[in-house]
Amino acid sequence: MIEPAANFDDLVDNFGLLDDWEDRYRYIIDLGKKLPIFPDDLKTETYKVRGCMSQVWIIPGHVDGGQSRFAFAADSDAHIVKGLIHVLASLYTGKEMGQVAAVNAEAAFSQLGLDQHLSPSRRNGLVAMIARIRAAASQS
């Protein structure tokens, strides 16, 4: 499962320290490098997220093996998407299962300015990842 390196408020603060979007993209890519290793044998159709231009796999789970708090493991073949996965982990990991659907990830990405700086295809992929996370939490 992904343990985010920073909570979302810290990410907002860090973004605010970066002057241009090239630096912010580098920061997002660096976040993606902090994702735990995702075994190749789990990169299957079962876990693949549809609607993403890049390949993305998400496996839902729980924090510390308990059943009440949401967590997930994920990976992508694109560096920027790995970073976006890390941002999603900062929003969702540790939330009570019933709280996951209430997280407004779109507003959070807007707060970072990513809503205006992601291509339409990346934005569609982000929406698909959010939908997969919400569906997984509602089924747990």
The domain ranges of the chain are 8-139
Catalytic residue among 52, 58, 74, 136: 52
In angstroms, how far is the first alpha carbon of the chain from the final one? 15
pLDDT score for 5: 79
Strand partners, 114: none
Which amino acid type is present at position 3?
E
Share of the chain above pLDDT 70, in %: 99
As a whole number of angstroms, the distance between CA 85 and CA 71 comes to: 12
Architecture of domain 8-139: Alpha-Beta Complex (3.90)
Report whether 55 contacts 133 (CB < 8 A). Answer: no
Q: Is 52 a catalytic residue?
A: yes
pLDDT band at 64 (very low <50, low <70, confident <90, very high): confident
pLDDT band at 32 (very low <50, low <70, confident <90, very high): very high
pLDDT score for 84: 96
pLDDT band at 19 (very low <50, low <70, confident <90, very high): confident
pLDDT band at 1 (very low <50, low <70, confident <90, very high): confident
For the stretch 66-118, pLDDT in tens is 778 999 999 999 999 999 999 999 999 999 999 999 999 999 999 999 988 99
pLDDT band at 65 (very low <50, low <70, confident <90, very high): low
